[in-house]
Chain A
Amino acid sequence: DVKVTQSSRYLVKRTGEKVFLECVQDMDHENMFWYRQDPGLGLRLIYFSYDVKMKEKGDIPEGYSVSREKKERFSLILESASTNQTSMYLCASSPQGRGVVEQFFGPGTRLTVL
């Protein structure tokens, strides 16, 4: 079974702090994604990556950056956390070149910025 793990289930940070959210997948997937989930807004794509050291902006990249130094790990960085970044953050991965496949999601990190 594909396993996508996220470093924390719950995180509380203060405004202005630099925050790192880590995601690791163990199935050698090329593609990795970061979404945020907010009530009434569904899932919105922040960033994604098709390969190591590659990144693409999603629909709402402002205030975020990402890092993909290794194939299995995709980090989301909040350079200076703000209260409007309080949200559930979901990481996902999928393989490349194996037909039309679904994305596999991690359990999520619920971030609160005070």
Chain B
Amino acid sequence: AQSVAQPEDQVNVAEGNPLTVKCTYSVSGNPYLFWYVQYPNRGLQFLLKYITGDNLVKGSYGFEAEFNKSQTSFHLKKPSALVSDSALYFCAVREPNSGNTPLVFGKGTRLSVIA
């Protein structure tokens, strides 16, 4: 069965510095990978996804993620963090060729950007 791990419960970064939120996955074959963000008292908002092709995926709000097959990772990145990026971030995976089966989510990483 597929799974994702987000090894950090909390990430703190200074405003203007680059940020990375880590995600590793476990699936058989090439995965479909997703990142979502959740602001306080809100539902999840889609940021970006990797299906195939270019390993660097660009998404909303200046975020990007890099797919690394050898390390089974899909880390979320942003070159310059904003205070407004402070939120809860979730990585999710779906097995390939599985239609639109439910996503499997990680436990989330809370990002705090300090002014």
Contacts and interface: CB of A to CB of B under 8 A. Distances in A.
Interface of A: 4, 9, 31, 33, 35, 40-43, 45, 48, 58, 90, 92, 94-97, 99-108, 110
A109 B40 CA distance: 13
Contacts of B105: 35, 42-43
B36 to A, nearest CB: 8
Interface in B88-115: 90, 94, 99-100, 102-108
B49 A100 contact: yes
Contacts of B104: 45
Interface residues of B, number: 23
Given A42-B108, A43-B90, A102 B49 contact: yes
A107 B102 contact: no
B69 to A, nearest CB: 17
A9 B40 CA distance: 13
Contacts of B106: 42
A48 to B, nearest CB: 5
Nearest to A58: B102
B56 interface: no
Given A45-B102, A105-B43, 6 more contacts: A43-B44, A90-B44, A102-B34, A102-B103, A106-B43, A108-B42
Contacts of A33: 102
Given A100-B51, A102-B34, A102-B49, A90 B100 contact: no
Contacts of B103: 102-103
B51 A90 contact: no
Nearest to A103: B103
21 contacts: A9-B41, A31-B100, A33-B102, A40-B107, A43-B44, A43-B90, A45-B102, A45-B104, A90-B43, A90-B44, A96-B99, A99-B51, A100-B51, A100-B100, A102-B49, A103-B103, A105-B44, A105-B45, A106-B43, A108-B41, A108-B43
